[in-house]
A = this chain, B = another copy of it.
Amino acid sequence: MSYKLTYFNLTALGEPIRLILHYGKINFEDNRIEYGDDWPTVKQTLPLPYGQMPILEHDGKLAHQSLAICRYVAKLAKLVGENDWENLEIDAAADTVNDFRQKIGQFSYEKDPDVKEKKKEALFGEILPYYVEKLEEQIKNNNGYLAAGKLTWADLYLVGILDYLNWMLGKDLLEEAPQMKALYEKVRGIPEIKAYIDQRPKTMM
């Protein structure tokens, strides 16, 4: 019944899964791959269904896709909703955070300087303020959480990728988002999560 999570030795898309597993006190092997010059070679040795991490292995089976893995481990950790509609709200919140992450990534990973400058204007001028305002409102309307008025895996998804979002943006999103900041601190203050964060490897993001 053991689990093995394989991801870069970074937070980013692996961290929400790690947070959920630690929250649920679920035993797992935290297999961390260094992202270095030899990554293309190392990649060939890993069983990645569509060339991407994270992957989760369990009982001889293997799964990919970070949000799908989050949802699965959230069931083990009892971070899901009480009924189908609550789970719909939780899924929608996580997908919205993921949309936001992708929009930031499209700017951050853009290589062409002119294109990047245009994307920066749209991101900082429109997209970012829009999402921050909406997310703040959503957290306010959900008792300090993203969905269903209580702590769910959508919150751990957001908190788990926030450092990565800030790294991509080169600024701290929480400075102008008091609701999100309170949620971030609340989740990181949960004893199981705090204990993990205090001892996790220090990485660039």
Q: How far is the CB of A54 from chain B (nearest CB, A)?
A: 11
Contacts of A64 in B (CB 8 A): 92, 96
User: How many identical subunits does the complex contain?
Assistant: 2
Majority secondary structure of chain A interface residues (helix, strand, loop or mixed): helix
Chain A contacts to B: CB under 8 angstroms: 49-51, 56, 58, 61, 63-65, 67-69, 71-72, 75-76, 84-85, 87-89, 91-92, 95-96, 99, 102, 106, 112, 115, 130-131, 134, 138
CA distance A138 to B138 in the complex (A): 38
Q: How far is the CB of A21 from chain B (nearest CB, A)?
A: 14
CA distance A87 to B87 in the complex (A): 13
* 23 residue pairs bridging A and B, Cβ less than 8 Å apart: A49-B92, A49-B134, A49-B138, A50-B96, A51-B130, A56-B88, A61-B85, A63-B85, A63-B89, A64-B96, A65-B91, A67-B95, A68-B88, A68-B91, A68-B95, A71-B87, A71-B91, A72-B85, A72-B87, A102-B102, A106-B106, A112-B115, A115-B115
Contacts of A84 in B (CB 8 A): 72, 75-76
Query: Which chain B residue shows the least CB distance to A110?
Result: B115
CA distance A187 to B27 in the complex (A): 40
CA distance A84 to B50 in the complex (A): 21
Is B50 touching A63 in the complex (CB atoms < 8 A)? Answer: no
